[in-house]
Amino acid sequence: MDARVQDTTVKGEIDITGVNKVFGQGAAAFHALTDIDLSIATGEFFTLLGPSGCGKTTLLRVIAGFEQPSSGSLRINGAEVAGLGPNRRPVNTVFQSYALFPHMTVAQNIGFGLKMLGKPRREIEATAAEMLRLVRMEALAERRPAELSGGQQQRVALARALAPRPRVLLLDEPLSALDLKLRKEMQSELKRLQTETGITFVFVTHDQEEALTMSDRVAVMSAGRILQMGRPTEIYNAPVNRFVADFIGETNFLVLPVAQTEGDAAHLTLPGGKRAQALLPDGMLPVTGADVTAVIRPEQATIVEPDAGDMTATVDSAVFFGTDTHLHLTLSDGQPFVLRRQNRPGQQPPEPGTALGLSLAPGALRVLED
């Protein structure tokens, strides 16, 4: 597959065409972004997802105006903004560090941007009160940042960014400093705020759970390129290549021979000799007898009697996660396999060395391009 992903979404709030960003010159040049084509609809919660150094924050900074593209077009609400500074774009940014003014109250922090814009005092006070209601912090208006928890400071930073009513809100890993429970609470809060305000959110994260739970669409990035874009269910259930499949949640990679092909599917020979149908990527036609890499998620297999499944396996270990248990298995041909099983009262995991059968969900097996 061509690493340059074309986005066919109807043009909307943000339209990026052929954007490249290069730092340095000559042999020392570093290509942070390569051929980025992207359209984000008005009112969409869009997430840029990828590991550190993949270019997601650079792309966010290009949208914000903190960095200028080396080439390409960037339009917000139909107007070309490449070359314009942050103060000339209808966007606001929330960073990892909340950067609240310690000597100001919560209400004053929220109203600071409006004050810099020269808004009248009554409008500033009314907007600050509205934002406090939106983030559910009316009772804390007179407190200072040092008197707030991390989650409360995050809400103030969000309220301050929303107060000028930008067309686009950019969020650069804003939840990374919070503990797990607060992070999950703020995921729900962010989605609620985005829905209530109708503002376009562009969210940057390396956390696939954040991306899957909050986003309308996700763009998975690697080495300055967008590898795949789509709804969270599409990204999770139909990854286009090994990188996306491996980065989005846990998965099993199986090297299996092709028994035959049929349309957009292939029949693969599983460990033990049985066959299973696997979906093929568009345009792929593997040769019968050739080995391909197939992917299946840990929750898409169930335990059955050893002689009743699609494959047989031996238990190596079990890892308890509270809501579920991950069973680490070895298939009959020696390939590793992880199975995720939901926990139930009184249920115990099988002991190491136990033989069991695995039944694969229909349509769960997919062949990858690479």
Average pLDDT over residues 90-109: 88
Average pLDDT over residues 169-174: 90
pLDDT per position as a tens digit, 53-75: 999 999 999 999 999 999 999 99
Instruction: Check residue 341 and give its pLDDT.
Output: 94
Q: What is the mean pLDDT of the chain?
A: 90
pLDDT per position as a tens digit, 18-44: 999 999 988 888 999 999 999 999 999
CB-based contact 296:256 (threshold 8 Å)? no
pLDDT of residue 96 exceeding 80, the answer is no
Structure-token match 């115990």, residue found: 348
Instruction: Check residue 303 and give its pLDDT.
Output: 95
Long-range pairs of 192-198 with CB within 8 A, sequence gap ≥ 24: 193/134, 193/135, 193/158, 193/162, 194/45, 194/169, 196/134, 197/134, 197/162, 198/43
pLDDT of residue 285 exceeding 90, the answer is no
Nearest to 318 by CA among 333, 304, 328, 310: 328
Cite the residue boundaries of each domain of the chain with CATH code 3.40.50.300.
14-245
pLDDT per position as a tens digit, 313-337: 999 999 999 899 999 999 999 999 9
Instruction: Check residue 179 and give its pLDDT.
Output: 78
End-to-end CA distance of the chain: 9
Average pLDDT over residues 260-270: 88
What percent of the chain lies above the pLDDT cut of 90?
63
Average pLDDT over residues 222-242: 94
CATH of domain 250-367: 2.40.50.140
Instruction: Check residue 5 and give its pLDDT.
Output: 53
Spatial distance between the Cα atoms of 78 and 66, rounded to a whole number of angstroms: 20
pLDDT per position as a tens digit, 130-155: 989 888 888 999 999 999 988 888 88
pLDDT of residue 192 exceeding 90, the answer is no
CATH of domain 14-245: 3.40.50.300
Average pLDDT over residues 252-280: 92
pLDDT of residue 98 exceeding 90, the answer is no
pLDDT of residue 158 exceeding 90, the answer is no
Q: Which residue has the higher pLDDT, 351 or 10?
A: 351
